[in-house]
Structure 1
Amino acid sequence: MRDPNAGGYNEAVCCGGQDYSSPALLPPFADGKVVTISAGFAHSGAITDSAKLYMWGDNTNGQLGLLTVDTKPSHIPKSVMPSIHFALLACGRGFTLAVTQSGKTYAWGANMHGQLGMGDMAPRSNPQLITRLNGHKMVRVTAGGGSAIVVTEMGELFGWGRNNVGQLGIPRSKSPKVIPEFILSSHDSSAIDQVVAGGYAYQYEGHSMVLTSSGEVHSWGWNAFGQLGIGEVDEGHSIPHKNSWLLKTRVKMIAAGQFASAAVTEAGEVLTWGQNDAGQLGRGDFTSGPVDIPQRIHLEGAILQVTIGYSHMLALSVEGKVYSWGHNFYGQLGVGDHKDKATAQGVSYLQEERIKQVVAGQYHSLAVSVKGELYGWGYNRDYELGVGDNMDRVLPQVVPTLTGHKVATVAAGGYHSLAVCEDGMLYSWGMNNYGQLGHRERSTSKVPTAVTVTTSLADGKQVGKRLRLKQVAAGTWHSLALAEDNHVYAFGRCQHGQLGVRCQKGGERVQDVFLPERVSDHLEDKKVVSIAAGAAHSFALVEVKVK
């Protein structure tokens, strides 16, 4: 057996210290059968069913914990602290962590990064109790190259050791963390109210954010333009970072685009951050930035919603008025010209309508009125406006095909659009090169075309029963739909796994899914309440019952 997360070599591990290219069987353990194993860079360990710990391999840093100053390697498993009953084991690079059946954590070995959690950087050849964790019972433990993370039975996460690239899940630091630091807790964390995913043209460079019920914003992903809003610019983060700049501002909704992000406060104020080369931050200038912390911008009245395209933003006021700013080469601002705007402009063409939703695609924009009328403007070379031709529009135009259908909600992707009407029917139009319209054919749709989502596509038990839909989300080349049965259906490009379905047929990878397919793996027994689509990634918020 082998720890799948381990790497290294086999010097002095077993059987005379020889390297083996195939598994070598160790002699039977005197204290019973092995139930837990862990392999570090050059040492290994095992726990038997009688809770006894054995270690072998390299001992240069005292990582075997043999209670001796001798650092010679051991070719055979040796008992460690036989009077203690162990339950968990983690071997890192030159150091070891072990958790007893009572949940106490011991550490020994190399400590140049404080990875033993003792408050210093001195190595230990004798197992030492990590006293800073007293009072907490550990249920998970992991050891890396120079850092360690544990999980308590209360769902709390602690970490210590090296953190130069943020590997502990807290803001990165040049100095190591020599004592366990609290990272997060699954119990005191607020529920997630909203999730948004950014990115359009560069599918590998998206970023994501969540908004909690307590108004906190957490972000992760690409950060080359400061779009995470955490006060720094870098390649990005794979771990969610809390936006400390927004802690004193109660946020009620968030938005993510290709290079920028935005938040709306409970007071109706708008904050933006990220790139500003086209004035998309609405700050009154075209300085490219990056702006790496949220900054307030001026808009008339209280704002209810903000949405972001590739380089333009739209805002909806509580009175149902639409504002736009940023890149306008294709007329996506809807103000009658092609000039970029660095400050918010009222979309006067919609002045007589009360709008209930606005969405920004890559270069086009959509708006839904309280009467259920749909308007589109901006880029239209691939018929994403649904007006029957492929001419760009600099002013909002009614989508005639859906007049009278009472549109409930819409989504705008890279070059396609989706709408759900009050009767639960789904319509799609625009580019269909990867099946993102949910039709059998690959052809483009010039006008909104009905898409039937049935249970037969999911389980075949109720052939032909049409499902009513209640929400849609669109990525660059893929689409998601949430049905009233709380199941998610996906279609379009599947190259990066963004559909959440098995994109294979007969052992060959299929990158396109042309008909809506139910996302069943890991969501089958979940109640999905909301969905979001980024450039090539997707999210589903599920309802969690608190015991």
Structure 2
Amino acid sequence: MAAEEDVRMTEVTGPFRQVLFISAAGNIVCSWGRGEDGQLGHGDAEDRLRPTRLSALDGLDIISVTCGADHTTAYSLSRTEVGDFGRLGHGDFSDLFTPQPIKALHGLRIKQIACGDSHCLAVTMEGEVQSWGRNQNGQLGLGSTEDSLVPQKIQAFQGISIKMVAAGAEHTAAVSEEGALYGWGWGRYGNLGLGDRNDRLVPEKVSTLNGEKMNMVACGWRHTISVSDTGRLYTYGWSKYGQLGHGDFEDHLVPHKVESLADSFIKQIAGGWRHTMALTSDGKLYGWGWNKFGQVGVGDNADHCSPVLKVVQVSCGWRHTLAITEEKNVFSWGRGTNGQLGHGESADRNVPKIIEALSVDGSSGQQIESSKLDPLSGKTWVSPTERYAIVPDESGQTVHSGKGNGGDVSVPENDVKRIRIFYLD
């Protein structure tokens, strides 16, 4: 890497099992971790155990990146990954292994993007919201449960300027410029904050905040986190593993203040699959919830709520966590099975470890490899639909359906699992 290139971290995002970061200048994007669906953007379906420069985005002045379950999106709006349910926004179900512009968003000035399990949203500078992808529970907010192959404007926000959106697995939340909080999509665990367990097909305003205006919102898999203008932290939804931080394991159907952090001013929040992280204005990082792989980062595998590092930014994956310190060092911890911790190995870690390749106290980007895709090589990759088989449940039954997935087999969430097929030459 050339000496004049600025590789200091400006943003890191690590939902699910892949991680991306952007350099301070916006001219370098690196990705690592799980890549079997092409979500790393290197033109192949391989995992990366260390940060690897995403050459396809060189020179595009990338502002932000966001990860979904098996896909990635970035501005200037480019995106990569598997196309099930139209989540890539290109108007078809095609898989993509390198970033491609979303033509339907050309001409729109995007200020923020969010990715759920299989759906995506974009907020424009004018406060409008576009959504696309999977929509079986109404998470697109379009008034139906039909998947959308291209971005569509959420008409329910007509006359309402949206500040930001957040996406869970199958639900969505938003905060308006006026400080109102909204929820829609899958609501079984109260994660919409509307006082019940019902789904919503269009955004609905949360009315139980006692006049407090919200400033930001984030989503875990089935829980939601929000912060008020006064820095108070609220959580609601699923709490089987204590991820709401209220000292119990009870679901909450409306936002509840996290009393243990009532004296702290929260400046950033992140939701993992079953854990939550919060960063205070004085640089203390708190984590709680599911800690099987050490993703809370306090040296063991028990649930905790205690300071970890002096940090300036935090991001949660489904089972791992990343943080940037004041000294511009990058740390990661938790599940590492796909290399998503960036240490060149597949080991789990229950205490934070510095990612040498991205940190000032490490090699400062001097040892980052670039994508090695040769478009003239003729090399091809097995598509995701060919790399998986259906495993029946105990009764031996499976359900086959071509609806909404381009003719592929539809895998019932609770009945079957996907396994990877390894082809031997």
Same fold (TM over 0.5): yes
1:439 CA drift (Å):
1.4
Q: State whether residues 410 and 418 of structure 1, in contact with CA within 8 Å, keep that contact through their aligned partners in structure 2.
A: yes
User: What is the aligned partner in structure 1 of residue 181 from structure 2?
Assistant: 322
Counting only pairs closer than 5 Å after superposition, residues 61-140 of structure 1 correspond to structure 2 as none
| Residue 299 of structure 2 is aligned to residue 440 of structure 1 | yes
Aligned to 1:356, what secondary structure does the other structure show?
strand
CA-to-aligned-CA distance 1:424-446 (integer Å, 9 cap, x gap): 0110000000000001111123x
Give the equivalent residue in structure 2 for 1:228: 88
Matches within 5 A, 1:146-165: none
2:79 to 195, 199, 219: 219
1:185 and 1:352 mapped to 2: Cα distance?
Answer: 44
Residue in structure 2 matching 1:275, options 134, 137, 141: 134
Matches within 5 A, 1:411-426: 411-426=270-285
The 5 A counterparts of 1:76-475 are 186-187=58-59, 189=60, 191-199=61-69, 206-212=70-76, 217-234=77-94, 236-287=95-146, 289=147, 291-297=148-154, 298-299=156-157, 301-350=160-209, 352-445=211-304, 448-451=305-308, 453=309, 468-475=310-317
Paired residues, what number?
Answer: 310
Does structure 1 retain, via aligned residues, the 8 Å contact 2:266–2:278?
yes
For 1:409 and 1:395, the matched residues in 2 are separated by 21
Look up the equivalent residue of 1:449 and give its one-letter code: S
**Residue 520 of structure 1 corresponds to which residue in structure 2?**
356
The 1:246–1:526 alpha-carbon spacing in structure 2 relative to 1, beyond 3 Å, is farther
Q: Does the 8 Å CA contact 2:114/2:165 hold for their aligned counterparts? A: yes
Aligned match of 2:385: none
CA distance in 2, matches of 1:238, 1:486: 30
Note the C-alpha offset of 1:185.
8.5
Superposed CA RMSD: 2.0
Alpha carbons 2:330, 2:358 under 8 Å: kept: no
- Bigger share in strand: 1
Matched-pair contact (CA < 8 Å) for 2:300–2:350: yes
Q: Secondary structure at the match of 1:401?
A: helix
| Deviation for aligned residue 1:405 | 1.2
State the match for 1:136 in structure 2.
none
Q: Who is 2:16 aligned against?
A: none
Please say if 1:500 is aligned against 2:342.
yes
Aligned-pair CA distance for 1:286: 2.2
SS in 2 for 1:219: strand
CA contact (8 A) 1:321 1:350 kept: no
Unmatched segments (≥5 aa) in structure 2: 1-26, 28-37, 42-54, 366-425
Could you tell me which of 326, 329, 343 is aligned with 1:484?
326
Amino acid at match of 1:195: V
Structure number with greater CO (CA < 8 Å, separation at least 6) is 2
Runs of 4+ in 1 over 4 A off after TM superposition: 183-187
Instruction: Kindly provide the amino acid, as one letter, of the partner of residue 63 in structure 2.
Output: D
Q: Which runs of 5+ in 1 are unaligned?
A: 1-154, 156-165, 170-182, 200-205, 454-467, 504-508, 528-547
Shift of 1:525: 4.9
Q: What code does the residue aligned with 2:152 have?
A: Q
Aligned to 2:4: none
**Alpha-carbon distance, 1:521 to partner:** 2.1
Q: Is the 8 A contact 1:261 1:274 kept in 2?
A: yes
In structure 1, C-alpha distance between the alignment counterparts of 2:356 and 2:66, rounded to whole Å: 22
The DSSP-based 3-state class of the residue aligned with 1:383 is coil
Q: Equivalents in 2 of 1:282, 1:337: separation in Å?
A: 18
Q: Is the 8 A contact 1:321 1:351 kept in 2?
A: no
Compared with structure 1, are the counterparts of its residues 320 and 526 closer, same or farther at alpha carbon in structure 2 (3 Å cutoff)?
Answer: farther
1:277–1:520 distance in 2 versus 1, CA, 3 Å = same
Partner residue, 2:394: none
Task: Report the alpha carbon displacement of residue 294 of structure 1 after superposing the two structures with TM.
Answer: 0.2
1:388-432 Cα distance to aligned partner (Å, 9 max, x none): 000001000010110011111110000000011111011000000
SS at match of 2:92: coil
Query: 1:379: how far off?
Result: 0.4
Q: In terms of Rg, which structure is larger?
A: 1
User: CA shift at 1:372, angstroms?
Assistant: 1.2
